[in-house]
A = this chain, B = another copy of it.
Amino acid sequence: MTDIPAKRKLTIEDVARQAGVSISTVSRVMNNTDYIADATRRKVQDAIDALDYRPNALARGLKQMKTDSIGLILSDLQNPFWLMVLEGIEDACQEAGYSLLILNSRDDPEKEGKNIKEFLMRQLDGIIINPASEDNPLFAALAAEAFPLVFLNRRVKGVEVDTVVADNFKGTMLAVSHLAALGKNRIAIFLYPANGISPRQERLEGYKQALAAHGLETDPALIKIVETKEDCLAAMKQLLSGSGKPDAILSTNNRLTLEILDALGTLNIAVPQDIALLGYDETEWSKHLNPPLTTIRQPAYEMGREAAERLILAIAAKRRGETMQPVTVQLEPTLVIRESCGEILQ
């Protein structure tokens, strides 16, 4: 334990003294508001550079009642999908001169509440959130006071807030249509449990309607809701032991896809020979799996960018004293065809 004398932090006053001007002048140079004589500006700038001075963002934010930064609350950073989203958000923020703070709710409503409060206390100018809960009273409270807020990937009903989602209904429609076109007629779907949040419901709905559109009936036995790896294996066993075995599986999450692949592996079922598999969400490893995976690709980067741009617009409007009418933007998923459904490629 050696004792290094902790240098006192530099303040605007030190710069003012060094430059031989008042602190107001220093402030004016930094924010370049108001008239400043060229000579003065140079003196001050030199002092700032010489001392390597950086203004205290807390003091600045306190006075200005803004922080030029926005918060992002994600529910599952482990999912590569979110990393693409994140990239879009980052780019948009950087372009607009905002900085981005990230918190992870791990899909826990309680943690989500804490995260929001954390951001509010820090006086962030706006929040982008992938909601983990549907009934969080904070949402309504924020909406009521026109706090800049964007929901990402999940709708929250009953709350009028800017929302950016992918068309989940269309996603499973595309998937089922693709499978049906390949002659599959016993298409099972695997989902993680609900937590009442929208994409799951919409995906299931798309699945059902697409089946109907292709003249197939929905068999409840083919709808599997699993929570753990073990659930998944059990569900698969059950599915394959009965008489009406499926000839295709539609996974609705990319971690789930890996679990399904595992289950099929241990049961010695070959993809796509014995059964077709179609995954939701494109990842960097999708094409490297055995076999290369056919997937539904959501426009993750664009979703992130859209959400951030929307939020930044709302913040600007609020500063002008206006309030924008909340909007829901829905982006379209696409089908990425590879080999896991038994497609014939040339």
Chain A residues within 8 Å of B, Cβ to Cβ: 1-4, 6-7, 52, 54-59, 61-62, 67, 77-78, 80, 83, 86, 90, 99-104, 117-118, 120-123, 141, 144-146, 255, 258, 261-262, 284-285, 287-291, 317-318, 321-325
Contacts and interface: CB of A to CB of B under 8 A. Distances in A.
Nearest to A120: B54
Contact of A2 (B120, B261, B321, B323): B323
Copies in the complex: 2
B322 A3 contact: yes
What are the nearest 4 A-B pairs in CB distance? A290-B290, A57-B121, A58-B62, A285-B285
Given A62-B59, A86-B77, A146 B54 contact: no
Contacts of A122: 57-58
A146 B6 contact: yes
B55 A121 contact: yes
A322 B1 contact: yes
A104 B86 CA distance: 10
28 contacts: A1-B317, A1-B322, A1-B323, A1-B325, A2-B325, A4-B144, A4-B145, A4-B323, A6-B321, A7-B145, A54-B117, A54-B120, A57-B121, A58-B59, A58-B62, A78-B83, A99-B103, A100-B103, A102-B102, A255-B284, A258-B284, A258-B288, A262-B287, A262-B288, A285-B289, A288-B289, A289-B289, A290-B291
